[in-house]
Amino acid sequence: MSGGVDSTTVAAMLKKEGHEVIGITMQLLDYTDAEGGCCSFDSVVDARRVSQELDIPHYVVNYIDEFKDYVLKDYVDKYESGKTPIPCVLCNQFVKFDLLLKRALELGADYLATGHYARIEEENGVYTLRKAVDESKDQTYFLYTLGQYELSKLMFPLGGLRKKEEVRENAKEMGLRPAEKPDSTGVCFAPSGNYRDYLKSLNEFHESTGEIVNTQGEVLGSHKGVFSFTVGQRRGLGIATGKPMYVTSIEPKENRVVVGDDNVLYRDKLIANNITWVDNNHNDGELYSTLKVKAKIRNRHSASDAVVKMRSETDAIVEFKDRQRAITPGQAVVFYMDEKVLGGGWIEQVI
């Protein structure tokens, strides 16, 4: 329970259906470091207050050290290496649906239920992860690392709702405090949305001046760190060329940012690593050496026709039928077949 309307509504719905419900909230940061979002002290207070109103037990679990090891370290490392991280995927994989799931089961729960917008279906003992009915709220892009065991122990009650508005309507009908609470946005540990300020606040993170060049190698300006840029970025480049310019690539070893015209951003191949599959049968690299899929390269990206060519059990070349704009190392590429999530991996390189 984050104290927000989604998880609060889930708890109330399940209790109303007759389930025995326990509320559990993660503390991921020192409260003095969390200004807002699901990591703040206020969120814990809201979750506890709602639990009291629902008359359910409430626990707070401390995963500050684990969050630093699994999520924050990767976040910093990726930005320093010129990549654009997705902390929510790692938090789901290693904290929420590993550590928290284990803790919930230790408390005697049969399932861990969350407010994620996704669906779980089971047939003949095989579990599938499917898109939410309301695709505008679908969160399966951040959940592709879930496997058979995790899916067998999870519940996503909101995935079948037609519209997010139904959640707020249900919350109002049940008299829940967070019914009017705005949705959290951005990275939970940098709720202001300015990840650059967050990175600069870290003692182990250092700025380093480098060059901004065009695709011909001509120097157009300078920067104070490659962490301030991401592929496809137009604003905040600090250069004047008389025409729109976009970040086309980041070269961390040279501490250089390359910019160019928009058409340079379109590519049709990428290398992905650390690939995982929802269905364990897909883990056989030989069986699925080549697989036709719909692939997404970012959460708000429309899935496009692609072929996954496995190079090993965990690495692949993903080739799109049509060129994609701003494929970004550090982001995830997630594979779909219709509404079903097959799996995914991390974008290592654009080729």
Is 38 tagged catalytic?
Answer: no
Give the contacts of 253 (CB within 8 A, at least 6 positions apart). none
The Cα–Cα gap between 234 and 231 comes to 9
Is 91 tagged catalytic?
Answer: yes
Backbone angles phi, psi at 221, to 5 degrees: 175, -165
Question: What is the arrangement of strands in the sheet containing 210-214, beginning at the earlier edge strand?
Answer: 219-223, 210-214, 256-260, 246-251
CB 335 within 8 A of CB 294: yes
The Cα–Cα gap between 70 and 26 comes to 15
Query: One of 38, 39, 88, 188 is an active-site residue; which one?
Result: 188
The Cα–Cα gap between 115 and 112 comes to 10
Query: One of 38, 39, 88, 91 is an active-site residue; which one?
Result: 91
Residue by residue, DSSP assigns 308-344 as EEESSSS-EEEEEEEEEE---BTBEEEEEETTEEEEE
Residue numbers annotated as active site: 91, 188
